[in-house]
Amino acid sequence: MKQTIAHIALVVRDYDEAIEFYTKKLHFELLEDTTLSPQKRWVLISPPGSSGCSVLLARAANDHQSSRVGDQTGGRVFLFLHTDNFTRDFQSLLDHGVEIVRQPAKESWGTVAVFADLYGNLWDLIEST
Residue 2 belongs to some domain of the structure: no
Residue 39 belongs to some domain of the structure: yes
Count how many domains the chain has.
1
Residue 62 belongs to some domain of the structure: yes
Specify the pTM.
0.95
Residue 115 belongs to some domain of the structure: yes
**91: CATH:** 3.10.180.10
Query: Per residue in 70-117, pLDDT tens?
Result: 999 999 999 999 999 999 999 999 999 999 999 999 999 999 999 999
Residue 1 belongs to some domain of the structure: no
Residue 28 belongs to some domain of the structure: yes
| Domain span holding position 59 | 7-128
CB-based burial label for 125 (10 Å; 0-12, 13-18, 19+): buried
Query: Per residue in 32-76, pLDDT tens?
Result: 999 999 999 999 999 999 999 999 999 999 999 999 999 999 999
Query: CA 77, 45, 96, 110: dihedral to nearest 10 degrees?
Result: 50
Residue 72 belongs to some domain of the structure: yes
Residue 111 belongs to some domain of the structure: yes
